[in-house]
A = this chain, B = another copy of it.
């Protein structure tokens, strides 16, 4: 199902997804039934069906219940249950995570593997192919990758709108085509399908909003407290990128004017207070001993006073920032992820207190604060969500409850 991605193919892909959506909802349908329900002309529909069958996304079956005396038995069309629709890959700094869904949008598996931070892209992609193979090569849930729709990829760092989504789109829009990301080039060569790209922390936000702590949330703020402090916004159910792909840089909001120098070039950023290194350094400065987050978690669980006081202060800073963002953006759910969230209530309770204190009173009981639940595969799952969201069915046709009522045109189409 790899097409050129012009406006024409956009419309075509919209039609394809309309047909797939009807088959997803109704199960097997004849060409005639599909024609009645989709409102497309016969020529367009048959053309679309031919391509869907050729790609392996749709399979044909001869109905047993066809009226015998009246010509050929009716052929029905159905989704190929073995066809993979999307793969998500998170190229994190020191590990690789993959996940896959089938055409019914069911997550059929995920896998992770750590690696050195300096592993070259060729080898990272090799590793990705191997991990994807582990999801698809064996077992009953095995996927046929021939019908793969697209791959969603998370990477570290700023991903502007010039990279985000699909690389081919830009030339058509008359913009300068940017250098594609090496992961895009290599994966596209390998799988022959579009490769959608975004920042992996933002993708984790999207993943948590669909399969994780904020499942079903349309307006979600995700904050990751890790080696860096960042996050992502889901707005109306879609990933928010901002004008230059710089959305979600919560870690660089000033919390201490004139404070410590930050890697971004600024001073007093939230990251200088709430990153793993900042917290461990402050803990040591307060006389505590913790080489890493698990040791800090241990100290917290043991009721260590210095650790609790420190996290109380850090949580208050985080909560103030979240309150400001809540007033501006109005999310229904805030998700706290990253390794530092493992410190649990010692951090989350002061965050919540400061959030309630500083958010507009009218919002106080509307926004819900939760810890992330997807762990390290959140980004890979977000990559899959990116693919599903780029699907014209989900983004441009009325989806979900609307489709459930069947877009049958007023009169029969020919």
Question: Which of B8, B41, B235, B402 contacts A10 (CB under 8 A)?
Answer: B402
A413 adjacent to chain B (CB < 8 Å): yes
**Contact B331–A329 (Cβ < 8 Å):** no
What 1/0 flags go to A282-326 for Cβ under 8 Å of B? 000000000000000000000000000000000000001101110
Task: Report Cα–Cα, A262/B129, bound state, in Å.
Answer: 57
**Interface-lining segment among A105-113, A148-156, A361-369:** A361-369
Q: What is the copy number of this chain in the assembly?
A: 2
**Contact B42–A39 (Cβ < 8 Å):** no
Q: Which residues from 207 to 256 on chain A have a C-beta closer than 8 Å to any C-beta of chain B? A: 217-219, 233, 235-236, 238, 240-250, 252-254
A412 adjacent to chain B (CB < 8 Å): yes
- With contacts A266-B358, A266-B360 known, is A407 near B247, CB below 8 A? no
Task: Report Cα–Cα, A405/B9, bound state, in Å.
Answer: 11
**A-side interface residues, number (CB < 8 Å):** 80
Q: Which residues of B contact A178 (CB under 8 A)?
A: none
Question: Which of B329, B367, B401, B411 contacts A247 (CB under 8 A)?
Answer: B329
**Contact B413–A44 (Cβ < 8 Å):** yes
The 7 nearest A-B residue pairs measured at CB: A242-B330, A243-B332, A41-B413, A7-B402, A265-B361, A246-B330, A219-B243
Tell me the A residues contacting B by CB distance below 8 Å.
6-8, 10-12, 14-15, 39-44, 47, 158, 173-174, 217-219, 233, 235-236, 238, 240-250, 252-254, 257, 264-266, 320-321, 323-325, 327-333, 358, 360-363, 366-367, 395-398, 401-414
